Amino acid sequence: MLPVVPIQVPEALVASLVECHGTDGRVWAEGLPALAAATADRWGLRPDGPPAHGAVALVLPVRRADGSRAVLKLQRVDEETAGEPLALRAWGGRGAVRLPDHDPGTGSMLLERLDPARSLLALPDDRAATLVLADLLAELTGHRAPPGLRTLAEVADGLLAEVPAARERLAGEDDRRLLADLAAALREVRPEPGDRLLHWDLHYGNVLAPTAPGPRAPWLAIDPKPLAGDPGFELLPALGNRWSDLAVTGDLPRALRLRFDLLTDRLALDRPRAVRWTLARVLQNVLWDLADGGSVIDGTQRTIAEALSGREDGSRITRPGR
Ligand SMILES: Nc1ncnc2c1ncn2[C@@H]1O[C@H](COP(=O)(O)OP(=O)(O)O)[C@@H](O)[C@H]1O
Ligand SMILES: [Mg+2]
């Protein structure tokens, strides 16, 4: 029922899909109008506003047959996105967007409509926004992960396996030392990978307000790339939010540590373990950059790693040049 006029797939989404998935991404983007039409037909949806998108998903505002508002989210199913419906079902609308329907064949999801103009990015008070994230993370990770999700143990083993080749790609000795320290931090916590339901991508842009005041919580998470694991692995997206807010304080490492402490307090996490899991997450970002052809560790990742160093007993994170 959907495209009375066929949908236009935003150019920026096509570019991002090509960047993430190469030719497969382009082919998938070309099939989006037909997929949107078929899915809307099956679920009795009609268009209700301009499309939105992130890095990988097309999100179409729709009306359901009963007139209620929803969005249709279309994204490729891959190891990161496959678990989204499982996680949303497990949360059942508590702390996260509701999922009224889902097609396992195509990965298409019918989601509760939230207000895309009101994400946490629009909340000017950085501390208040971090507290919202902390409360959401506490609620979301309060659940045991349902069976069938990828696990942090698998992710951790995959990261550690990549380290030797990544080391060869790094040009500088300081960077090689930092890589070794990040890997060492991950090895220390790897034996206890945890069993919580993790969102994995909870940054300000992935928290939206409901469309109107009512019975729903004031802020809800969207867009999980879920994992079963330790909540310490959840903190990095919250630390890196709105970097300019940290920079204007004049003491970036201190501002990062304040965020970290606020998150770990609210989540009642063991801080030394949370540091190590956060360093593991820095390692994940570093390995991605290197896989994309980089040969240095990004300054933001280094700043986070160094800011947290000394927060765990016997830290081996080095501080070159100091
Ligand atoms: N439930 C929703 N209600 C309203 N808008 C949404 C909803 N889910 C996503 N959006 C909009 O679509 C954008 C991309 O969706 P998202 O799930 O974050 O996908 P991506 O994985 O591509 O980042 C969001 O930033 C938001 O603007
Ligand atoms: Mg998103």
CATH superfamily to which 119-308 belongs: Aminoglycoside phosphotransferase (APH), C-terminal lobe (3.90.1200.10)
Give the model's pLDDT for residue 32: 95
Q: What is the pLDDT of residue 311?
A: 53
Say whether pLDDT at 157 is over 80: yes
Q: Which ligand is nearest to the CA of 223?
A: 1
Rounded Cα–Cα distance for residues 78 and 115 (Å): 27
114 lines ligand 1 (CB under 6 A): yes
Which pLDDT score is estimated for 314?
36
Task: Tell me, yes or no, if 24 is annotated catalytic.
Answer: no
Cα 54 to ligand 2 centroid, rounded to whole Å: 5
How does pLDDT run across 12-50, given as a tens digit for each residue? 999 999 998 899 999 999 999 999 999 999 999 999 999
Burial of 295 from C-beta contacts in 10 A (0-12 / 13-18 / 19+): exposed
Q: Are 62 and 40 in contact (CB under 8 A)?
A: yes
| CA of 97, closest atom in ligand 1 | 1
CA atoms within 13 A on the CB side of 25: 16
**Where are any strands of DSSP class E within 138-242?**
196-198, 207-210, 220-221, 227-229
| pLDDT the model gives residue 3 | 55
Q: How far is the CA of 55 from the centre of ligand 2 (A)?
A: 7
Give residue-wise pLDDT tens across range 178-217. 999 999 999 999 999 999 999 999 999 999 999 998 899 9
Strand partners, 70: 62, 112
Q: Which ligand is nearest to the CA of 112?
A: 1
Second CATH level (architecture) for the domain 11-112: 2-Layer Sandwich (3.30)
What pTM value is reported for the model?
0.93
Confirm or reject: Cβ of 96 under 6 Å from ligand 1.
Answer: no
- Give residue 317's pLDDT: 37
**Domain coordinates of the chain in residue numbers?**
11-112, 119-308
Annotated catalytic residue within 175, 201, 223, 230: 201
Q: Does pLDDT of 6 surpass 80? A: no
| Residue 194, pLDDT score | 98
